[in-house]
């Protein structure tokens, strides 16, 4: 499939495989890493124990780490590393990383702003003493280019902040807050909330329980799935927040109760797509989820202005995710082969012009107990397990 471009896929063995659409070759190229950022050059792979490697689309690799810790590289080439001795930064032209925040400052999870000028990071104020005890206290800070630090947000009493994220225009920050002392409860959304914070003013909007990763749109929109509980066939609503703060619930073209999952934006034309499936509250086992019926009968909904259409996975598969190519001409689909196959997930390419699709990669792992995602587990994300050259170029 030459039109597929190049994909890097995290496999069932924790390896990263490169799929070359021009040849169809699938080759192991890296291991034990997650995708940090995708660029026109390739994808940055963050090592599970530290380090940062650029996996180029052409198959070459390059070590781009700036220390011995957990690194993140900005669009300008600035590197930040969280190490045991503190937070280190190495700007373009500098020979070595330099300490900007000592270890006793408590900095964690630093991430560059879109322009590479500032760092968003979490500061640990009071560490959690132990499992099932006080959740501890942390705050969200900004480190300016000139070295000044500024606190953006701190919980009123106790609470842990994790996974800070910038908006593409640098106006807002997203961060998750947990006040529950139980990791299991937090996984269901108990004591969990997603906060939207204006960086200039510090104004905070609590978006409520949002278990999956929100997606920013090309015009400052934010799409996020609201609702707690690990069952993906109940209590999941897709909220679209406009740049001016107005919100609406995205609905498919049907009057039947539906859940909405895994939003993805078309940066070329502003279209929004998501996975839609029947809502089956209180069913426990998902009313046929594994078999692709009932709660498992899932399709992709594409919203284009006031028009909505459906895209289905071929050959009896059901949809679990999608993402757009940069030109808006193709969709990458995450399809699931119904049944109790322990490797039911597949990546397909869908061409919007012709309405045709073809499989690229099959045999991706699922949850070993449920034999499929969605049952007491997280919804799979193409943004987490696949990097796609056609989405970056």
CATH number at residue 103: 2.130.10.10
Tell me whether residue 335 is in a domain.
Answer: yes
Residue 75 pLDDT: 95
Task: Give the residue from 94, 148, 163 showing the smallest Cα distance to 118.
Answer: 148
Check whether residue 221 and residue 179 sit in a common domain: no
Task: Give the residue from 40, 39, 42, 75 showing the smallest Cα distance to 57.
Answer: 42
Tell me whether residue 41 is in a domain.
Answer: no
Check whether residue 221 and residue 199 sit in a common domain: no
Rounded CA separation 44/168 (Å): 18
Domain that residue 87 falls in: 65-209
**Pairing between β-strand 137-143 and β-strand 119-126 as defined by DSSP bridges:** antiparallel
Number of domains in the chain: 2
Tell me whether residue 259 is in a domain.
Answer: yes
Residue 283 pLDDT: 72
Residue 13 pLDDT: 85
With beta carbons less than 8 A apart as the criterion, state whether 78 and 112 touch.
yes
3-state secondary structure of 370: coil
Tell me whether residue 310 is in a domain.
Answer: yes
Q: Is the C-alpha dihedral spanning 110, 114, 118, 120 positive or negative?
A: negative
Check whether residue 238 and residue 324 sit in a common domain: yes
Q: State which H helix or E strand residue 389 sits in.
A: helix 389-392
Residue 375 pLDDT: 47
Rounded CA separation 202/319 (Å): 39
With beta carbons less than 8 A apart as the criterion, state whether 112 and 101 touch.
no
Check whether residue 342 and residue 371 sit in a common domain: yes
209, 228, 246 - which closes a domain: 209
Check whether residue 248 and residue 281 sit in a common domain: yes
Q: What is the CATH number of the domain that holds 284?
A: 2.40.10.500
149, 179, 209 - which closes a domain: 209
Residue 370 pLDDT: 44
- Look up residue 333 and give its two tokens: 């689909």
Task: Give the residue from 194, 213, 176 showing the smallest Cα distance to 378.
Answer: 213
Residue 135 pLDDT: 79
192, 209, 226 - which closes a domain: 209
Check whether residue 139 and residue 231 sit in a common domain: no
Provide the 8-state DSSP code for 265.
E
Task: Give the residue from 318, 275, 313 showing the smallest Cα distance to 293.
Answer: 318
Check whether residue 82 and residue 165 sit in a common domain: yes
CB under 8 Å to 248, separation ≥6 — which residues?
Answer: 239, 240, 242
Check whether residue 195 and residue 276 sit in a common domain: no
Check whether residue 156 and residue 183 sit in a common domain: yes
Tell me whether residue 59 is in a domain.
Answer: no
- Look up residue 279 and give its two tokens: 């809502």
Residue 376 pLDDT: 46
Rounded CA separation 320/275 (Å): 6
Tell me whether residue 34 is in a domain.
Answer: no
**Pairing between β-strand 42-47 and β-strand 33-38 as defined by DSSP bridges:** antiparallel
Tens of each residue's pLDDT in the chain, 393 residues: 999 999 999 988 889 999 999 999 999 999 999 999 999 999 999 999 999 999 999 999 999 999 889 999 999 999 999 999 999 999 999 999 999 999 999 999 999 999 999 999 999 999 877 666 677 899 999 999 899 999 999 999 889 999 999 999 999 999 999 998 787 788 788 899 999 999 999 999 999 999 899 999 999 999 999 999 888 899 999 999 999 999 999 987 677 899 999 999 999 999 999 999 999 888 776 778 888 999 889 999 999 988 999 999 999 999 999 999 999 999 999 999 998 777 889 999 999 999 999 999 998 876 554 444 554 445 778 999 999 999 999
Q: How far is CA 346 from CA 68, 154, 168, 263, 335, in A?
A: 35, 42, 30, 18, 5
Tell me whether residue 293 is in a domain.
Answer: yes
Check whether residue 229 and residue 198 sit in a common domain: no
With beta carbons less than 8 A apart as the criterion, state whether 41 and 28 touch.
no
Tell me whether residue 1 is in a domain.
Answer: no
Provide the 8-state DSSP code for 50.
B
Residue 373 pLDDT: 54
């Amino acid at each position: 499939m030459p039109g597929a471009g190049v994909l890097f896929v995290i496999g069932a063995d924790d390896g990263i495989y490169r799929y070359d659409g021009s040849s169809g070759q699938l080759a192991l190229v890296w291991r034990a890493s997650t995708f940090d950022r995708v660029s026109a050059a390739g994808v940055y792979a963050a090592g599970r124990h530290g380090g940062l490697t650029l996996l180029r689309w052409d198959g070459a690799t390059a070590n781009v780490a700036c220390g011995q810790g957990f690194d993140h590289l900005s669009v300008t080439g600035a590197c930040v590393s969280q190490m045991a001795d503190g937070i280190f930064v190495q700007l373009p032209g500098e020979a070595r990383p330099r300490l900007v925040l000592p270890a006793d400052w408590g900095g964690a999870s630093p991430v560059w702003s879109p322009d590479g000028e500032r760092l968003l990071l979490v500061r640990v104020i009071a560490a959690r003493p132990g499992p099932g005890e006080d959740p501890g206290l942390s705050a969200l800070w900004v480190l300016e280019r000139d070295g000044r630090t500024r606190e953006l947000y701190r919980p009123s009493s106790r609470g842990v902040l994790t996974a800070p994220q910038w908006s593409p225009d640098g106006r807002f920050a997203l961060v998750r807050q947990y006040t529950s002392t139980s990791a299991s409860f937090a996984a269901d959304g108990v004591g969990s909330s997603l906060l939207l914070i204006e960086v200039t003013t510090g104004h905070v909007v609590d978006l409520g329980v949002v278990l999956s990763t929100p997606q920013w749109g090309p015009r400052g929109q934010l799409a996020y799935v609201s609702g707690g509980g690990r069952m993906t066939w109940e209590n999941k609503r897709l909220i679209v927040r406009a740049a001016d703060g107005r919100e609406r619930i995205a609905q498919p073209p049907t009057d039947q109760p539906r859940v909405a999952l895994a939003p993805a934006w078309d940066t070329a034309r502003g279209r929004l797509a998501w996975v839609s499936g029947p809502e089956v509250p209180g069913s426990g086992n998902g009313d046929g989820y594994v078999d692709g019926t009932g709660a498992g009968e899932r399709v992709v909904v594409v919203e284009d202005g006031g028009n909505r259409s459906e895209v289905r996975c071929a050959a009896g598969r059901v949809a679990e995710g999608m993402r757009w190519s940069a030109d808006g001409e193709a969709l990458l689909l995450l399809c699931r082969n119904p049944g109790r196959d322990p490797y039911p997930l597949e990546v397909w390419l869908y061409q919007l012009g012709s309405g045709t699709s073809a499989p690229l990669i099959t045999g991706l792992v699922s949850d070993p107990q449920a034999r499929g995602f969605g049952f007491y587990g997280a919804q799979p994300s193409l943004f987490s397990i696949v990097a796609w050259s056609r989405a970056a170029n």
